[in-house]
Every structure is written in structure tokens, then in C-alpha cells.
Amino acid sequence: MSVLEIIRSRREITSFENKKIPGELLENIVDAAYYSPSGNNLNSREFILVQNRSTLDYLEKTTPYMKWLSTAQAAVVVTGRPDISKYWLQDASIACGYVWLTATDLGLGVGFGAVYHSEDQEESENREKHVRKELGLPDDRRVVAILGLGYPAEKPKEKKLLKRNETIFFEKFRQ
Ligand SMILES: Cc1cc2nc3c(=O)[nH]c(=O)nc-3n(C[C@H](O)[C@H](O)[C@H](O)COP(=O)(O)O)c2cc1C
């Protein structure tokens, strides 16, 4: 598939088959994270690949919005370092996109679990603490997202997008 075909076909998957992901595919997925760009090449993001069932089940409780992690075969925990770069959130977010597209290309599904909460510091800290505790992450690491991986056990319904002319403009806003 071309990159654009992968982008067009990518969806969020929230139900996974009980089928192991070959190690070679997981290596490609972490490569996608590793080779993702970062502002000023400061590499402000770090990734933890989790395959252990009990760890995945623990991480599922990070927020109420990642129930699908209980059927995922693996997860990539995406973390950021504000001490290294002011672009830590963008760096981590771009890496999430790379992982998601690579997984799609490999026939895998991804559930996106947001952890960092920009509007509620206390909630964010509670969620991030939960993850740090289990993974041995230092307190200065921010936990941006948990991406659950597995073979899709569902085909998502077609989704609504805004019309192109409500989203894409040429030369000037709303033109
Ligand atoms: C920044 C961001 C945060 C998201 N957080 C969650 C989440 O916490 N839990 C979840 O199940 N899905 C989450 N999603 C998935 C979106 O709901 C999903 O991508 C969106 O509905 C569009 O559907 P699609 O991915 O199939 O195109 C998140 C996606 C993004 C980009």
C-alpha cells in the first residue's frame, strides 16, 4: 500500500483477536517510533513495548477509555521529556501517528488510549502515576498515550468527516 492508502484506510480498532503478534512485526512497529522525527532532533520521546498479559491488564485501568487493552496482544507506551524539549508533546504525538500507520500497513489494529490530559492536571497526574508505577518510569517522564495492538476483530463503520471545504483552505482561511 502507498502511504496515502494506509492513511486513508487507518481506523481505530477496539477489539482484537486472540492471536499472537509475530516479534518481527513488533520490531517494525518500534522502528516506526524510533525513526519518527522530533523537534530540533532532541529525541524527547521514549517508548515501552509491553507484551506481558498482566501488565496489559494493569494498564487497561489507566483510564476508563481503554477497555480494549484487555484484548490487545501488546502495547506501545509513548512517553515524553519536557526537560529535553519544549516540543515533547508534538514529538510524542507524531511518533503515535507513525506507530499507528505502520501497524495498519502490517495488518494490525491500534486502539489509542490518551493518558496525558491537558485540561485537568490532577487527572493527568493520577493517570500518569498509575503507568509510571508499573513500568518503573521516573517522575519527570510524561505519559502521553498507550497504543494497544492486535489483529482486528472488528471492521469499524464508516465515519463522518467534515466536508473537505470546511477543513481545507487555499491561500487564506475559509477560502
Ligand atoms: C488524541 C487522541 C486521543 C484519543 N483518545 C482515545 C481514548 O482515550 N480512548 C479511545 O478508545 N480512543 C481514543 N482515540 C481514538 C479516537 O476516538 C478515534 O481515532 C476517532 O474517533 C477517529 O476514528 P478513527 O481512528 O477510526 O479514524 C483518540 C484519538 C486521538 C487522536
Confidence class for position 44, pLDDT limits 50, 70, 90: very high
Q: Is 117 near ligand 1, meaning CB less than 6 Å away?
A: no
Q: Each residue of 51-74: pLDDT tens digit?
A: 999 999 999 999 999 999 999 999
Nearest-CA residue for atom 14 of ligand 1: 112
- Residue 94's pLDDT is 98
Would the CA dihedral through 76, 77, 82, 88 be positive or negative?
positive
Which DSSP helix (H) or strand (E) runs through 102? helix 88-105
Q: Is 16 near ligand 1, meaning CB less than 6 Å away?
A: no
Nearest-CA residue for atom 1 of ligand 1: 114
Q: Is 116 near ligand 1, meaning CB less than 6 Å away?
A: no
> Cell for 136?
518503573
Q: Using the mean position of ligand 1's atoms as its centre, give its distance from the Cα of residue 43 in Å.
A: 24
Q: Is 159 near ligand 1, meaning CB less than 6 Å away?
A: yes
**Mean pLDDT to the nearest integer, 146-159:** 98
Q: Using the mean position of ligand 1's atoms as its centre, give its distance from the Cα of residue 112 in Å.
A: 5
CA-CA-CA-CA dihedral for 89, 30, 56, 115, to nearest 10:
10
Confidence class for position 11, pLDDT limits 50, 70, 90: very high
In whole angstroms, give the CA distance from residue 69 to residue 15: 8
More confident residue, 1 or 37: 37
Q: Is 11 near ligand 1, meaning CB less than 6 Å away?
A: yes
- Nearest atom of ligand 1 to the alpha carbon of 67: 11
Confidence class for position 137, pLDDT limits 50, 70, 90: very high
Q: Is 114 near ligand 1, meaning CB less than 6 Å away?
A: yes
**Mean pLDDT to the nearest integer, 135-153:** 98
Q: Each residue of 12-33: pLDDT tens digit?
A: 999 999 999 999 999 999 999 9
Q: Is 172 near ligand 1, meaning CB less than 6 Å away?
A: no
- Residue 79's pLDDT is 99
> Cell for 67?
477497555
Confidence class for position 80, pLDDT limits 50, 70, 90: very high
Tell which residue, 97, 90, 82, has the closest CA to residue 12: 97
- Residue 175's pLDDT is 77
- Residue corresponding to grid cell 500500500: 1
